[in-house]
Amino acid sequence: MRPKVLLALWFMVCLSFAVAQDQQVSLSRGKGRRAGQRRGKKGNSSQPAHQGAGPVLNGDAGTAIFLESYKSVNEQESNYNIIPGRRGQCQYMGITMFDKAVWSPKPCVTCLCSEGSVVCDEVTCPILRCHLTYTPIGECCPVCSEPVLDVPDFSGESPVPNNPSEPDLWLPQTPAEIEEILREEEEEHRKEEERLRKKDQAKKKQKKKKEKKDREAAERKAQKQRKAEEDRWLREEAEAAEERRRRQEEQRKQEEERMRRMETEQRLMLKALEEAAEREAQRASEIKTDQEEEEDEEIVWLRGDVFQMPPLEPTAAGLPPLPPLAEPVEPTDEEENDYADSEELVIQRVSQSLPKGCTISDVIVNCDNAKLTSIPPLSIPELKSLSLEGNDITAIPVGAFNGIPNVEWINFSRNKITSQNIDPHAFKGLKLLSRLYMDGNLLEQIPSPLPSTLQELKINENNLREINEKSFEELSSLITLELEGNMLSEGNVDPPGFTPLTGLSYLRLGRNHFRTIPQGLPPSLLELHLENNMIEEISEAAFNQTSNLNVVVLRHNKIDESRIAPLAWINHRTLESIDLSYNNLYLVPSFLPKSLVHLVLVGNQIERIPGYVFAHMEQGLEYLYLSYNKLDGEGIEPESFVGCLHSMTELCLDHNQLTGIPIGINEMTSLHFLRLNNNKIRNIAVDSLCDPINEDEDSQLVAVRLENNLLDPRKIPPTAFSCVRSYSSVVLKPQKMK
């Protein structure tokens, strides 16, 4: 029994010793970490981990200093152990602590009163290298909940495992180092925020760049579609114009052919009549002579003794005798037939020498669409016109027209002639050439030199890229010049190039690349056509030299009313017609020429006709076309038509947004034609068209169009159209659905 009791007592003692040892280890593990690290830096690694420096709090002031840890005191002095005695007492936050007293003012901090001084030790937790941590019960520092992998050390030393029981030599030893670590962590945090901010900015920038790129792509696509639509429209317009030109040319050719045939027939008839008259007179004189001789013979025979008449000699044709006028008729017809036969033989002989596909009629040779690759050699001095349109001719060599020196008109349209393949002396011998057509070729320059007798020159639809001072040299007789559909602009047209054209009256420069009105135009110019260009402004000096200008066509450009200089054309005395259709106008332009009679503003975005805009015109505007605009009920003011109330003859306001008859129309005493169709007019007042005050005067209004509005014909006053000459000329149907 005794051994069992002794064994039990021994077991209890060991167990108590083990529990006391565990508590000591746990306390040293939390309190001695920092001291061990600091001593590790100093190289004193042989000392225990709990013998480090800790903060000392002065009992009176409460300040902290670093002294040797209280762990050097005997381990029997545990926490909150107050030992009696007055010597060495400490004052801590108003509380008197006896010497060797140990307490914990806050978690993870342990203080000791040693000989009147307070020594405190604060537990510093190690840096853990694990993802999951937890704080055990009774501990101040967290520990890893999973095994910690060794972190490679790039300094060449072996990795140090994260063992809480050993001092962590990597931790800072002073508050300055702790602050440095905090600053570094704050700096890293700031850098991370900066990096994230920059990344976010980069993403936003990239997003904006992508949106901008998408927007630009959409704009390019829309622009490409607009350009394709514009090109298609221009192509259709060009094809339609070409078709109209072709029909007009065919009609002109047919008319010229008919006139030439009539002239030839008349000339041949007159010539035949003159020759017949000469032959008849000669035959009559011969017959008269023969009759006189016969009368003399008869007188002789009657006076003789023989009363027998001598027999008459037979005629050359063996016919019985005819009345005196019957004999010369038959020879005249024969001679006419002989003359016609001779002309037919000549024409037949010339036709046999022409290439296949060419025909001749009088003084005209036509080789249109004959698949020719060169100019045929002709020897017809009487030839006046030569047409070689629609072939594959590529060159005009020297001597090409030697056999037709009197030709007056040559047509080279729709061939493949280039500037390099025209010999400088090709047109030298043509002293009577007045018309030259070279439309639809491959010319890059004006052929030079050309005969000084030239009056009409057409080089439309080519690749002309320049006009220099020698392009029209010695062409003072030129009246008509057409250069449409080329590559001309103010950059490659030299103003002195037009100087030799002292007689030019008609100039067409449409479908080119002009942005401004070309300078240097001759003063003799009467008509200027610049449609389908890219003209954006009309400067003050645009028409300074063209003082005789009568017609200006500027449709299908990019002009707005703010880009027309006030003195651009207001003082022109001869400018009567201006076409500004299909531009970028929002108002009827001010400062129009004083002499203006005809104004075309179709297809703009005009919203208003300013008051008194026509008041300064001397003769008064007669024709005003404002169709296809955006005029509404407020866009026309009571003073809008001041200056043209007694001169307006034709007014077109169709295809707008008018809600009623504009003010002032009933005062237009000379108005013949009025178009108000395709608007939003809902009612017509009694006096909106006809002025009841001047009802007795003879009205000039001939036709009024009001279809496609919102009118109810049953609600129109019976006298609304009393001034119209005929009710049948008032068009009211159909109307739009309300």
Say yes or no: 68 and 131 in one domain: yes
The reply to whether 293 and 152 lie within a common domain is no
Closest CA to 479 of 499, 506, 498: 506
Residue 97 lies in a domain: yes
Q: How does residue 274 score in pLDDT terms, banded at 50, 70 and 90?
A: low
What's at 86, amino acid-wise?
A: R
| Residue 277 pLDDT class (50, 70, 90 cuts) | low
Task: For CA atoms 427, 428, 429, 434, give the dihedral sign.
Answer: positive
Cβ neighbourhood burial of 219 (10 Å; 0-12, 13-18, 19+) = exposed
pLDDT at 453 over 80: yes
Q: Which two tokens stand for residue 199?
A: 């990344």
189 and 43 within one domain: no
Q: What is the mean pLDDT of residues 289-313?
A: 44
Q: How many domains does the chain have?
A: 2
What is the average pLDDT value for the chain, to the nearest integer? 77
E strands in 413-570: 435-437, 456-458, 480-482, 506-508, 527-529, 551-553
Averaged pLDDT, 200-217:
88
Rounded to 5°, the CA angle 438-442-446 comes to: 60
Amino acid in position 273: L
Is 603 a residue whose pLDDT tops 70?
yes
> Both 118 and 41 in a single domain?
yes
Helix 326-353 × helix 175-303 angle, to 10°: 150
List Cβ<8 Å contacts ≥24 apart for 378-382: 378/354, 378/403, 378/404, 379/353, 379/403, 379/404, 380/350, 380/404, 381/405, 381/406, 382/406
Among the residue ranges 67-76, 182-191, 686-695, the one predicted with the least confidence is 67-76
Residue 292: the pLDDT is: 58
Distance CA 556, CA 604 (A): 10
CA distance 105 to 666: 108
Residue 501 lies inside a defined structural domain of this protein:
no
Residue 610, pLDDT > 90, answer yes
Residues 185 and 143 placed together within one structural domain of the fold: no
pLDDT digits (tens, 9 = 90+) for 122-171: 877 887 777 677 777 767 788 886 554 444 444 444 444 444 444 444 44
Q: Final residue of a domain: which of 140, 172, 204?
A: 172
Beta bridge partners of 67: 54
Stretch among 132-136, 300-304, 607-611 having the lowest mean pLDDT: 300-304
Say whether both 162 and 129 belong to one domain: yes
Which tens digit of pLDDT belongs to each residue from 392-437?
999 999 988 988 999 999 999 999 999 999 999 999 889 999 999 9
The DSSP line for 550-616 is -EEE--SS---GGGB-TTSSTT-SS--EEE--SS--SBPPSS--TT--EEE-TTS---BB-TTTTTT
Which burial class, exposed, middle or buried, applies to 2 when counting CB atoms under 10 A from its CB (0-12, 13-18, 19+)? exposed
CA gap 359, 342 in Å, rounded:
19
Q: 307 pLDDT exceeds 60?
A: no
Residues 6 or more apart in contact with residue 392 via CB below 8 angstroms: 371, 372, 373, 415, 416
Sign for the pseudo-dihedral over CA of 414, 419, 422, 428: positive
Residue 71 falls inside a structural domain:
yes
Task: Work out the pLDDT band at 204, boundaries 50, 70, 90.
Answer: confident
pLDDT at 5: 64
Q: Are residues 199 and 123 in the same domain?
A: no
Residue 178 has pLDDT above 60, yes or no: yes
120 in Cβ contact with 65 (< 8 Å)? no
pLDDT at position 120 is 86
User: What sign has the CA pseudo-torsion 158, 161, 164, 168?
Assistant: positive
Does position 272 have pLDDT exceeding 50, yes or no?
A: yes
β partners of residue 457: 436, 481
Question: How would residue 41 be classed by pLDDT, with cut points 50, 70 and 90?
Answer: very low
Instruction: Supply 499's token pair.
Output: 């100087």
Asked if residue 5 belongs to a domain, the reply is no
- Boundaries of domain holding 106: 28-172
Q: What is the pLDDT of residue 353?
A: 66
Tens-place pLDDT, residues 701-728: 899 999 999 998 888 888 888 888 887 7
- Residue 538 is predicted with a pLDDT of 93
Round to whole Å and give the CA distance between 320 and 101: 186
Region 17-45: mean pLDDT is 46
Any residues with CB less than 8 A from the CB of 605 and at least 6 apart, and which?
584, 585, 586, 629, 630
Q: Are residues 215 and 78 in the same domain?
A: no
User: Do 189 and 59 sit in the same domain of this protein?
Assistant: no
Residues 220 and 285 both lie in one domain: yes
| Within a domain: 50 | yes
pLDDT tens figures, 455-478: 999 999 999 999 998 899 889 999
Does the structure show a pLDDT above 80 at 271?
no
Confidence (pLDDT) at 388: 93
Residue 650, pLDDT above cutoff 90: yes
Supply φ then ψ for residue 579, to 5 degrees.
-115, 110
Residues facing 144 on adjacent strands: 133
Q: What is the pLDDT of residue 260?
A: 74
Helices (H), 43-173: none
Query: Regarding beta strands 506-508 and 527-529, do their DSSP bridges make them parallel or antiparallel, or are they unpaired?
Result: parallel
pLDDT at 288: 61
Residues 6+ apart with CB under 8 A from 422: 395, 396, 447
* Confidence at 71, pLDDT banded by 50, 70, 90: very low
CA distance 427 to 346: 27
pLDDT at 454: 95
Q: Residue 48, preceding bond cis, omega within 30 degrees?
A: no
SS3 at position 453: coil
Give 97's pLDDT tier (boundaries 50, 70, 90). Answer: confident
Q: How confident is the model at residue 318 (pLDDT cuts 50, 70, 90)?
A: very low
Give the domain-ending residue among 172, 203, 225: 172
Average pLDDT over residues 16-39: 49
Residue 325, Cβ neighbours under 10 Å: how many?
A: 11
Q: CA–CA separation, 287 vs 736, rounded Å?
A: 88
Residue 139 inside a domain? The answer is yes
In a domain, 211, yes or no: yes
Residue of 93 and 279 predicted with greater confidence: 93
| In a shared domain, residues 95 and 139 | yes
pLDDT digits (tens, 9 = 90+) for 351-375: 556 788 888 887 889 999 989 999 9
Which tokens belong to 460?
């439309």
Q: Could you give the percent of the chain with pLDDT greater than 70? A: 72
For strand 577-579 and strand 527-529, is the pairing parallel, antiparallel, or unpaired?
unpaired
Give percent of the chain above pLDDT 90: 36
Structural Rg of the chain based on CA atoms: 59
Supply the DSSP string of 642-695, one letter for each residue.
Answer: TT-TTT--EEE--SS--SSPPTTGGG-TT--EEE--SS------TTTTS-STTT
> Does residue 245 lie within any of the structural domains?
yes
Last-in-domain residue among 154, 172, 190: 172
Q: Is the pLDDT of residue 607 over 60?
A: yes
What local confidence, expressed as pLDDT, does residue 293 receive?
56
Query: What pLDDT is attached to residue 728?
Result: 79
Whether residues 158 and 181 share a domain: the answer is no
Of residues 87 and 671, the one with the higher pLDDT is 671
> What contacts 682, CB < 8 A, 6 or more positions away?
659, 660, 709, 710, 711
Highest mean pLDDT among 55-64, 127-136, 290-299: 127-136
